[in-house]
Structure 1
Amino acid sequence: MTGPENEYPLIRQYRDWIQSGPSEDSPDRRQFFTHGTVVLDTNVLLSLYEYTPAARTQVLEALQSVQQRLWLPHQVGLEFVQNRHRIIIGRKKALETASKNLQNKIGEARAAILDARKLVQDLLIKYAQDTAAKEALESEISDQAVRVLLGDWTKALGDHIQRLKEYDLAISSVERGDPVLSQVAELFGDKIAEPPDQAEIRRRVDEAATYRFPNQIPPGFADAGKGTPLSSSGDFLLWEETIEHMAASTERSQLLFVSNDTKDDWYQPAGNGRSSRPWPSLASELRARTGAELRIETPGEFYRGVNRFLDAEIAEETYAEIDRAAENLIEVVITEQEAVHAQPRPDLIAAAFEAAGLEESLLDSIGDASSRLLFTWWLIGVTAQLERRRRFDDEPDVSLLPATRSETQPDPGWLPGRRLHLGEWPYRISSWIAPWFIKAVNCTSRHDRQIMQQLAARQLDVERTE
């Protein structure tokens, strides 16, 4: 809003709410790209693992055009290094699942063709008594003939999947040295925040949990109750770090924040004839606490802006990849830290126990609540991992192991494998067992504990081959 009316205190004080929101044609947009501090959210950096090599090269070259203005909050760096390997493992598992799904689909196609043949044969006998035609079909469309017919297609599809397994970021090569990590480290150089003081982190987590989240003050309130108070406060910790950084220098007068996250705790939902937009209160808070102006953009908007204002060369195909990756936000992962604070949905619990052949009532025999939650989340995860059941569309990943095979004790609380029953646990000499799993095993019937130990041993075998 411009003109004399903009001088009125009411208009000036609430201008972020009165304005329609940022536009790609805003007259001051160029300034954010040429002079602003640029902060990339964790999901923007993790998306680098999802691009093809050519697209990744173009994106990194585009980021070099704002390299001098980039700044990496500690929270973003921490989340990036913690989640990067999981993204790569996710690619590997997706391709492994693709191979199995391909075989299943081909098997279904073969069965469908043979069923179609039988349908016609039955009609030939029922309405024409044409035995010769029936036998001709039996010979022409035999099971072997169908296998041969589908064989070339199966091989062509399988070859594509196999090539993708070794394409670009194969897990074996990343374990020897992650090229994306090195490129990101070089991009930011020394423009990285130091870890905040632990007392300050505790204060911020408490503020998020007791004041901001209950009152739905952005950012991050949509994560309230997901995992531990610390893990659910990630967006707010990032926000506070960024405000502190912007306030430290009067030269930092514009902040360009780039993120895939457009949930309701960052973006005000559309309504009353208004499109969705970043919450105006975020811009107001940043200005009030630092004097700086805020602009929030998605990766697609940002890279198109880099192309427009800084003459970066990004192909249309790369924009398509950027937009596609933006739709694949990081999924919730249940770790041991998260599991003791997160209650699984009843339908997930029921599906996991049914798939394992266990009764939910056995949970009553596991003494403490933490062990019950850990066991339940593990059973949900392992039955999905071992394909004992079909995963729910919105089911979180579970990264929780009840045992490990190693010479050294992974944690002071873990116990040697010989604490499990002789003849039931195959790795009594070479394994360590989580205390919660031993509690669960030792308080159940022999039938149930054998099922539990078999699942744990199978999971251990699978993990060691990946």
Structure 2
Amino acid sequence: MAPANGPLDGGFDGLIPQTDDDVRGAMVGGLLSLDANVLLNFYRYSPNAQSALLEVLRAVGDRVWVSHQAAREFWRNRCAAIDDRNKATEDVRRTLQDNEKKTLHGLDVWAKQTAVPAEIKDRVRGRLKAGFSEALELIDAEAGQAGRVTYGAATDSVVIMLRELLQGKVGPRLPKDEHQNAVVEARRRVISHIPPGYKDAEKEGGPGEDGASGDYLVWYQSVLEAKLRDLPLVIVTGDEKEDWWWRHRNILMGPRSELIDEFSGYSEHGLFLIRPVQLIEHAAVLDVTVSEEAASDVARGSIAAEEPRWSAEAVRELLRRLDVEGAVQAEVIRFAASQGGLIDREKVYEIGDFHKDRMLRGFTRPTARITRDLQSEGLLDEGVEPMLTPVYQDVIAIRFEIPLDVVEILAADTNG
């Protein structure tokens, strides 16, 4: 007897984009497995965003869950997350202070060259200093409102919040033999480019105990828990890499089809991927009302967290290739890193020993070309900030900027 005909979408779950209705249904009935980056992002969020996300997750109830691996990564990386938070505040304060000095110096030069009356110069100086002072006060006030964040877990406001939310909701460690087998499988997947986790190949051989196997361990432990509870699996993550998501033209369409097919071998339920901002966008399905301000705060924090970053390997390789070419851009990048990410036009001319009549048009082309090469070779994610970004005044590039993550990498290399 011939098999019966089916519907157009029958059996093609991994090829059908995830919809908002799918997300809402998953939030209502699925096991929400929180990835480590979701927990660490609490250090990035404003108090409004923290409260909104906590309210949504509390409404989910016992279906909120954290794998042992995700909890382990949270504890392993929380001090670095605190450092990033503090460093961002220190960096913006230092940048404002440096710019104040440069601006006031520029004012003095202008006053001398134009013989401006002292009264006018003093009025301009007073307004500039007041503006910079007010900006610094606002930054300090905003940083202070985020709660008491400390290295000591007993007094860290983020840890206190998460402990209350996740009491009795963290999975156990795998038995030793099963854990070792999972690590072996994870490494096989990295080599064979099988999701999830192969985009973390650079972590293999690093300081972490499990190398590049972290994502797979989160996946494996989450699958086992969803199977045990007989529930759909919803992995809540800020990770947007292609070893988790099916992407089309940079649009996140849903989980990779390989993951959906693999999960179907464990369960008759569905698999879903949700970003933290979607929990806020669809909070009403859980009878939770989120203010527009809190929703915007979560969206801003999530976007910042999800931006592709330069890896240490890619930065070193780009500089190596520039050095081989004898390109002055390598020294420009290193100097900019030593200055917090900025280098002015005069210093570029000094480093390059350029004639004063030379134009800087096309100066960023070598770095852009090598960046594209690194991306095509799989050494660098698409969408990273350009290595050198010119800042123009009229049609003249007055300075160049490099990404802050590159500043951090080169600072670590110098101090190491």
TM-score (norm 1): 0.63
1:245 aligned onto 2:225: yes
Partner of 2:319: 347
Cα gap change, 1:107 to 1:295, in 2 (>3 Å): same
Cα distance, 1:347–1:155 mapped onto 2, change above 3 Å: same
Give the corresponding residue for 1:162: 140
**Runs of 4+ in structure 1 over 6 Å off:** 330-334, 352-356, 399-402
Q: CA deviation at 1:283?
A: 1.3
Question: In structure 2, what is the Cα distance between the partners aligned to 1:315 and 1:392?
Answer: 32
Matched residues in 2 for 1:17 and 1:175: separation? 41
Indicate if the aligned counterparts of 1:208 and 1:233 stay in contact, CA closer than 8 A.
Answer: yes
Deviation at 1:63, TM superposition (A): 0.9
Say which of 70, 80, 87 aligns to 1:86. Answer: 80
SS where residue 395 of structure 1 aligns? helix
CA contact (8 A) 1:246 1:292 kept: no
Quote the RMSD (CA, aligned, Å). 3.7
Take 2:151 and 2:187, find their aligned partners in 1: how far apart are those partners?
A: 41
1:182 Cα offset (Å)? 2.0
**Cα distance, 1:243 vs structure 2:** 1.7
Residue type of the alignment partner of 2:212: S
Percent identity over the alignment? 25
| Counterpart-to-counterpart distance in 1, 2:309 and 2:177 | 27
* 1:108 shift after superposition: 2.0
Structure 1 residue runs without a partner (length 5+): 122-133, 357-389, 403-451, 457-466
The aligned residue for residue 177 of structure 1 is 155
1:71-130, CA deviations, whole angstroms, 9 ceiling, x for partnerless residues? Answer: 2101110111222222222222221222221111112222333333345x3xxxxxxxxx
Equivalent-residue separation in structure 2 for 1:85 and 1:167 (angstroms): 19
Offset of 1:138 from its aligned partner? 4.8
Q: Are 2:2 and 1:25 aligned?
A: no
Match of 2:64 among 70, 90, 101: 70
Structure-1 residue corresponding to 2:288: 312
Q: Provide the residue aligned with 2:406 in structure 1.
A: 395
Instruction: Name the structure 2 match of 1:300.
Output: 277
Decide whether the 8 Å contact of 2:43 with 2:85 is kept in 1.
Answer: no
Match of 1:255 among 212, 233, 236: 233
- Does the 8 Å CA contact 1:331/1:397 hold for their aligned counterparts? no
Residue 198 of structure 2 is aligned to residue 221 of structure 1: yes
Tell me: CA distance 1:36–1:145, structure 2 relative to 1, closer, same or farther (3 Å): closer
Q: 1:208, CA displacement in angstroms?
A: 2.3
Return the letter of the residue paired with 2:6. N
* 2:106 is aligned with 1:104: no
Report the equivalent of 1:233.
Answer: 213
TM-score of the aligned structures, taking structure 2 as reference length: 0.70
Equivalent position to 2:247, from 264, 269, 273: 269
Matches within 5 A, 1:305-454: 305=282, 307-329=283-305, 344-345=316-317, 347=319, 392-395=403-406, 397=408
Instruction: Name the structure 2 match of 1:206.
Output: 184
Residue 30 to residue 117, structure 1, CA distance change in 2 (3 Å): closer
**Where does residue 119 of structure 2 map in the other structure?**
140
Contact 2:89 2:143 in 1 (8 A): yes
Distance 1:163 1:150 in 2: 20
Q: Is 1:278 aligned to 2:255, yes or no? A: yes
Greater Cα shift, 181-190 or 392-401: 392-401
Structure 2 unaligned spans of 5+: 324-329, 339-400
Q: Tell me: CA distance 1:6–1:118, structure 2 relative to 1, closer, same or farther (3 Å).
A: farther
Distance (whole Å) between structure 2 residues aligned to residue 274 and residue 151 of structure 1: 44
Question: How many residues end up aligned between the 2 structures?
Answer: 339
